[in-house]
């Protein structure tokens, strides 16, 4: 579960701050739902943020239900898939980002907004990557 904690705490912030999700249900909400008993029993006083809740679940992993464990691993897999999609899109759009969006502050979807603003001049490889990853419809 330790690798899962690292993936969720680091990548979760990156992805959900930007609003990127691949599943119908937000993985964080799925974990909260599946781990409700554990969260209200073992981790009730834990302040969310910086991976503290996941660290709490890890500390009590011998008492965490299979349902909760599966939800945490499933969320980690979904986050990993989303990160891979973002990495692919970023690699395909690197030149376009540098050329058209070099002065744009990174984060909160500003890079994607810049690419959309410059859609007519952005490379076809970048456009295709954005479509393939679901970042653009």
Quickly state the pLDDT bin for 42 (edges 50, 70, 90).
Answer: very high
pTM for the structure as a whole: 0.65
Written as six digits, the tokens of 5 are 């904690």
pLDDT digits (tens, 9 = 90+) for 76-112: 999 899 899 989 999 999 999 999 999 999 788 899 9
Please give the pLDDT value at position 36. 95
Is 122 among the domain residues?
A: yes
CB 84 within 8 A of CB 15: no
CB 25 within 8 A of CB 68: no
Is 137 among the domain residues?
A: no
Please give the pLDDT value at position 27. 86
Please give the pLDDT value at position 98. 93
The pLDDT mean for the chain works out to: 83
25 has pLDDT over 60:
yes
Is 55 among the domain residues?
A: yes
Q: How many domains does the chain have?
A: 1
């Amino acid at each position: 579960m330790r690798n899962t904690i690292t993936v969720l705490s680091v990548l979760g912030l990156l992805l959900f701050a930007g609003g990127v999700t691949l599943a119908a249900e937000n993985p964080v909400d799925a974990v909260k739902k599946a781990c409700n008993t554990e969260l209200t029993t073992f981790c009730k006083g834990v302040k969310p943020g910086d991976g503290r809740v996941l660290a709490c679940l890890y500390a009590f992993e011998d008492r965490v239900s299979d349902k909760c464990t599966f939800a945490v691993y499933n969320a980690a897999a979904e986050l990993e898939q989303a990160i891979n999609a973002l990495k692919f899109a970023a690699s395909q759009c690197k030149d376009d980002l540098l050329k058209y969006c070099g002065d744009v502050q990174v984060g909160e979807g500003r890079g994607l907004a810049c690419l959309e603003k410059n859609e007519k001049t952005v490379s076809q490889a970048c456009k295709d990557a954005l479509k393939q990853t679901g970042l653009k419809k």
